[in-house]
Amino acid sequence: MDQLYQPQLWTERRLILIPILIAAFVLMMQMSMQVIVYEKMDPTTTTRQLAGESQHKKRKLHTMTVRKVADDEEYTQPSNASDVNNVNDQPKKNLYLHAGPGKMATTTVQNAIRKDISLLEEDGYCTYEFRHFDWHQSTVESITSNRFWEPFLAQLDKCHQMNQHVILSNEGLMGFHVEVWNDLLEPLFSRWNVVQLAGYRRYYDWKASLYGQQLKDHDKYTSAIKGHLLRTNGDTLYTVRNMQKFKKLVLHQEQLPEITAQEVRDQRLGDQNPNKYKFAIYNLNEGPNVLKTLYCNVLPTTYKCCDKYTNQLPPHDNQAIPVEYYRLILGGIAENKFTILDMPQDRNAALKTKTKLAYNLKELWEEDWNKTITDFPRDCLSTEQLQGLFDKSMAFEQLLVPDYFEKEMLPRLAEVKQEFDDMANVKYCGVQINDILHAEEYKYIWDGLDDMISGQNVE
């Protein structure tokens, strides 16, 4: 009898066990999905999550833990579920970091980004006033304690939710500690393809411009341009130096890496570029309108900004100086060669006064006395030194803008070299200041300038 009832007993037990097994399976699947959710970054994760409470802890390279948002923590949620899916389904947009370098129309680009916010938004870009942060030798603590940090995080969330490109500009970006990149900015920017935006200017032209800026900054009139041009110890185009610094950060390397010609050519592949380190270069040699070059030839989809600057030149944002006449004015002030009352204490006002005096001296020399800068005793580069400067410039050009070099430069290389030689005779020779300051034959220069100053207000 017992044997007759064994199948029935098993059937009853099976009917009881099946729902239990199903419930256990469902529970395991739910737990598995929960683990996946926490291991995979949610596309709606905010900057506060990415760089918030855990920002002071060391992160392992190339890894990041996404923490769950606390109940009392401010969280910006997309307006509806479709927004989440739209952002998730779209390819990553680009986040452009513009750090100059100096004397590469950096101020012009920064001012344009600031003024063109509305047009950039129509073109699918958003930005933020990155000048509010002092990135030079900064730390995670100094950045996150800045009162503009929270608004910046909120703006990045908005940019991501709107699926926009981002463009941020600050010349000090290459000066921060590596921890600022590893522990703060790299995870913060991970929702975009990070692209370094850099300016390029021909080396010999950039060196002369940099010399003029240093002259204004430091008033070292005894240091002539010849020595500045010939300095080779560690000297390189700042575009390359900045690119090396950023590549080192992105690739987490100990030493400054080289920038290779293949890397530059790979930038043309766009989204198919296999390199983790990405950059875009705007070439100042393409024409006088750097903003047209930037918006029409470099940044993608900036159609309205391109239209604006196709027929509009950017303003001159920096005060130009006649360099050698400015040096003479600095020397004359130091040696009391003329009288000027109440030199302004404010740096910008003093620069304006010195610049006006330099133009006064230029007017006396070239218009009243019918001379040129070449009539001063000068110290110039030799033919061999000029050739070395030109060759170095062409090597940088071939590396950084190879397409432009091959299409625009090589066919007219001899013409460009002749233009360089003609310019060098004027621009790359330094006036022998001590002769002008102390030789009796040049006393009339200072007397004439003194008479001109007494008849006008130069302050």
Kindly report, residue by residue over 334-373, the tens digit of the pLDDT: 999 988 877 888 988 999 999 999 999 999 999 999 999 9
pLDDT at residue 244, rounded to an integer: 94
Q: Which two tokens stand for residue 66?
A: 């996404």
The closest of 435, 422, 159, 406 to 324, measured between CA atoms, is 435
Residue 223 CA from chain centroid, whole number: 29
pLDDT at residue 19, rounded to an integer: 56
Give the residue-averaged pLDDT of 98-108: 91
Give the residue-averaged pLDDT of 400-423: 95
Q: How many Å apart are CA 307 and CA 302, to the nearest integer? A: 9
Q: How many Å apart are CA 211 and CA 195, to the nearest integer? A: 29
Q: Is 50 exceeded by the pLDDT of residue 63?
A: no
pLDDT at residue 227, rounded to an integer: 87
pLDDT at residue 69, rounded to an integer: 29
Spell out the domain ranges in the chain: 51-310, 323-454
Kindly report, residue by residue over 142-186, the tens digit of the pLDDT: 999 999 999 999 999 999 999 999 999 988 787 778 899 999 999
Instruction: Write the CB contacts of 48 (distance below 8 Å, at least 6 apart in sequence).
Output: 69, 73, 74, 75, 153, 157
pLDDT at residue 202, rounded to an integer: 96
Kindly report, residue by residue over 214-235, the tens digit of the pLDDT: 898 888 888 889 888 887 655 7
pLDDT at residue 125, rounded to an integer: 98
Q: Which two tokens stand for residue 452?
A: 């001109």
Identify the weakest region by mean pLDDT among 72-76, 373-377, 427-431: 72-76
Q: Quick count: other Cβ atoms within 10 Å of Cβ 393?
A: 20
Q: How many Å apart are CA 419 and CA 422, to the nearest integer? A: 5
